[in-house]
Structure 1
Amino acid sequence: MYQNFEVKITPLTRTRQIRIYLPNKYEEDVTRRYQVLYMHDGQNLYKDEDAGYGRSWRIGDYLDQNELDLIVVGIDCNEGLMRLDECCPWKSNEMTEVFSAGRQSIGGEGKEYIEFIVHELKPMIDEKYRTLQDETSMAGISMGGLISTYAVCVYPHVFKRAASISSAYWFNQKEIEELIQVSDLSKVERFYLDIGTKENTESINDLTYINSNRRIYHLLKEKVQDCRFEIVEGAVHNELAWIERVPQIFGFLYK
């Protein structure tokens, strides 16, 4: 079952579509409460007709078929380079070739975006739906993986499980490594990371992605209770590759 509504991101003074997946049994047993997973790029999660590139992750179908009882909160992304602004916690000068003429950097709105999720969206979801408020996770791909890792570091008591898929850590490599090193992640139960061997995008080559993610994994595995890192042979940077990894991602987070 799906529900959609629009919210205001107060710190950034803009609105956004929220897409909710509810388990099939949600309305049958009104006493049961559920874990919640927050995911970025919400338009790409459930239905092909909503997806930006015509192919969704079909996460709702997977959860239904496997009877995995979980509430998923999908947050639509912003358009174009503004998506990168929201997903980068710090300003970055990477990939200057995609900047418009008036830009000197990209990113820097990630802090406000995560504050919106923690202080505005999560309380709204916890009030509106029957959630287990202390069992909350976050997942994202590419830049969504970067901002999910940031969120876990800043709010480890909130996001106790996370998945970071094909993450573009290189946008803020130095800053995210330094943040992980000073963060107390002892309350984080599980953290999943992966990267494909053919994930070159724009001017960024495969090895940059792999080495960037490997460095983050080596930092996280010393701090997180259960940390898993997969290098996926032949996987590229697109929805078709990510769909294939849905079972192992959810299997690890909620086994």
Structure 2
Amino acid sequence: METHTLQSTHLGEDRTLKIYLPPGYEEHPEDRYPIVYCHDGLEFFTHGRIATICNKLVDEGHLEPLFIVGIEVRKQTRNDDYGPDGSRHDAYTKFVAKECVPFVEERYRVRRDTAHRFMAGISLGAAASLSLSLRYPTLFNRLLLFSGAFYETSREQVRALNSLHSLTAYLVVGRQETSVDTALGKYDFYRANQVMRDLLVERGADITYKEGDGTHIWGFWQKEIPDALQFLQRKLGS
């Protein structure tokens, strides 16, 4: 694991990046690797245990080595950063696309084609992932979306497009996420993810949709990370 502090011109502040290096990275200097960028990135490591899960899958031969980049969230501005209608969303998406990705890809041996660059997010971070893909489709078009907070603004983003044939996404949601407390009141994430699935499929996106027993908490998402990473592996092999 390596940690960097990245000064963002677009956000006007520093953000921490925590980077998981592929197993064997130092021993194979000629190799380049796939990469996953995660919103709520530090929590993906601490609460989601994504590095531990990744190590196990690689050791068992179920996943090829890859990079994982955890992008620090600022909790006090999370809604404004991640929400497609947030006051800082434009700045945040530019930070990821124009500052974070170049910073990482200039310093590490990553695969620089869209087919090997993934983005992951939970809840509003999933909405941010989708929004980034719609804004920068040549940069991100492969997504891992956990219990997406797909409010009406996210739906409007998708409805505005006629074709999303280049988009590939893995959606997972808990069946018990029907009445989740949010800043906007109770919200039915279960139904919202079904609606988003249908909107994306109607526009030709390659969607893998999964439901599980669980609520809107890291305990559920952590259990779903192995399947999401193995979906990633299948796409890498396709």
Match for residue 24 of structure 1? 23
Alignment of 1:166-177 (within 5 A): 166-170=147-151, 173=152, 175-177=153-155
Q: Aligned equivalents of 1:217 and 1:114: distance in 2?
A: 23
1:15 aligns with 2:45: no
Unaligned runs of 5+ in 2: none
Match for residue 208 of structure 2? 228
Residues 224 and 130 of structure 1: CA distance in aligned 2, closer, same or farther (over 3 Å): farther
Greater CA drift, 193-202 or 17-26: 193-202
Q: Is this contact kept in 2: 1:156–1:185, CA < 8 A?
A: no
Q: Is this contact kept in 1: 2:39–2:71, CA < 8 A?
A: yes
1:201-231 Cα offsets, whole Å, 9 max, x none, are 326546x212211111101113355201222
Q: For 1:222, give the aligned amino acid.
A: E
Q: Is this contact kept in 2: 1:192–1:252, CA < 8 A?
A: yes
Normalized against structure 1, the TM-score is what? Answer: 0.82
Match for residue 215 of structure 1? 195
Q: What is the count of residue pairs matched by the alignment?
A: 223
Residues 224 and 137 of structure 1: CA distance in aligned 2, closer, same or farther (over 3 Å): farther
Match for residue 75 of structure 1? 71
CA offset at residue 108 of structure 1?
2.4
Normalized against structure 2, the TM-score is what? Answer: 0.88
The percent identity for this pair of structures is: 29
SS at match of 2:221: helix
Match for residue 194 of structure 1? 172
Q: Aligned equivalents of 2:212 and 2:55: distance in 1?
A: 26
Q: Is this contact kept in 1: 2:6–2:15, CA < 8 A?
A: yes
Picking from 47, 70, 94, the partner of 1:115 is: 94
Match for residue 54 of structure 2? 63
Match for residue 99 of structure 1? none
Unaligned runs of 5+ in 1: 48-55, 91-106
Picking from 59, 80, 89, the partner of 2:84 is: 89
Q: Is this contact kept in 2: 1:140–1:164, CA < 8 A?
A: yes
1:159-187 Cα offsets, whole Å, 9 max, x none, are 121011111112xx1x2222213334222
1:96-126 Cα offsets, whole Å, 9 max, x none, are xxxxxxxxxxx22122111111111111111
Picking from 156, 162, 167, the partner of 2:137 is: 156
